């Protein structure tokens, strides 16, 4: 599973290594920038469970979940 994560990091662009090389930002694409209330609540529940205190809405209509430790990435991706 870690090999798959490394592949995503290198090729897909949805997992971004932060300056602190031990942490990552996960970019969640939002087609058309449209989220339902249930989607917003779901992302909130997932991030809260992982102890993440904030999200970032980008100008490219994506949500970024910052400061993820590598060992939490598989659980986060499955939950999303």
CB distance 23 to 14 below 8 Å: no
Asked whether the predicted pLDDT for residue 74 surpasses 80, the reply is yes
Q: Which residues of 40-62 are buried (b: 16+ CB within 10 A; e: fewer)?
A: eeebeebbeebebeeeeeeeeee
pLDDT at 11 over 80: no
Q: Are 21 and 29 in contact (CB under 8 A)?
A: no
The reported pTM is 0.76
Look at residue 10 and tell me whether its pLDDT is greater than 60: no
What's the pLDDT at 38?
Answer: 94
Q: Above 80 in pLDDT, residue 13? A: no
Structure token digits, residue 53: 């205190």
Grade residue 14 by pLDDT with cuts at 50, 70 and 90: confident
């Amino acid at each position: 599973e870690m090999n798959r994560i490394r592949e995503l990091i290198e090729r897909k662009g949805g997992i971004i290594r932060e300056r602190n090389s031990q942490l990552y930002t996960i970019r969640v694409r939002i087609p058309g920038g449209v989220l339902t209330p249930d989607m917003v609540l779901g992302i909130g529940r997932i991030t809260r469970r992982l102890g993440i205190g904030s999200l970032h809405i980008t100008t490219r209509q994506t949500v970024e979940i910052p400061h993820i430790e590598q060992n939490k990435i598989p659980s986060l991706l499955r939950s999303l």
